[in-house]
Amino acid sequence: MIRRPVAAGGFYPGSESRLRETLDTFFSSLGGLPEPGTPSVMGGLAPHAGYEYSGQVAAHTYVEFRKHSPDTFVVLGPNHAGIGSGVAIVTAGTWESPFGPLAIDEVLARDIFALCDIMDDDTTAHSREHSIEVQVPFIQYIGGTRFVPICMAMQDNETAGEVGIAIAEAVHGKNVGIVASSDLTHFGSYYGFLPTREDPLEWMKKADGDILGGIEEMSPEKVHEAASVTTACGYGCIAAMIVACRNLGLENAKILEYRTSYDISGEKSLIVGYGSAVVT
């Protein structure tokens, strides 16, 4: 199966040259792309909005992935389109981006699939979803050549736990980067979410800070509790990443960056929060 991009030219540049120029700018602001480090397992949070708004935040996470140079990546993203299986993996094929194909790690994907009873091998759930696709150019830019996509419409605590445990069992002994693709609070009437009459940026800073705090404490329960009062789209993906990392013996979580779309647009009637974090 060759999956063609559906977000290129919208969420991120559709040509190889413009995409590389954009990512060069993001990473240059962080001191450039570091030399690859010794391969090791790690986890991370990266946002998935349009690169104009969230790409610089995501770059903070991928700089750290570059330093650990995983042999392959597992990317967990929410299902915005609402089609396909509730927990959907793809076990074979390639995904295209302006940088060319990124191969699915078929051995790892099949191992995860075999270990998770609630997961389906389903390309439909991925056919129109951007949350995983926007991570593909970042993975390719830092030198990644293989990945496993997992799309989650079901994001309750039990589901996240089952997915995270399956990933950890399949990954054990391997050098894998586990990416939770999620934006944080979506504020405004467009999203049907107007929880405060006060300054929305202050409300969001507290709500999103509680989710990020759950990552720092390596607590999927606290992530779910914090997410229950706001509109983060990939809270279950974050929780599954934490469970996987915890079961792999990773204990050190660090928040790298937090920004909102207001930093770019200056618009307070429609705001989305973005966070970057790593677990090592």
If you average pLDDT over every residue of the chain, what do you get? 98
Q: What is the pTM of this model?
A: 0.98
Q: What is the pLDDT averaged over residues 56-68? A: 98
Q: How far apart are the C-alpha atoms of 123 and 149, rounded to whole Å?
A: 10
Q: Is the pLDDT of residue 1 over 90?
A: no
Angstrom distance (rounded) from CA 262 to CA 270: 8
Architecture of the CATH domain 2-279: 3-Layer(aba) Sandwich (3.40)
| Residue 194, pLDDT score | 97
How many Å apart are CA 34 and CA 138, to the nearest integer?
14
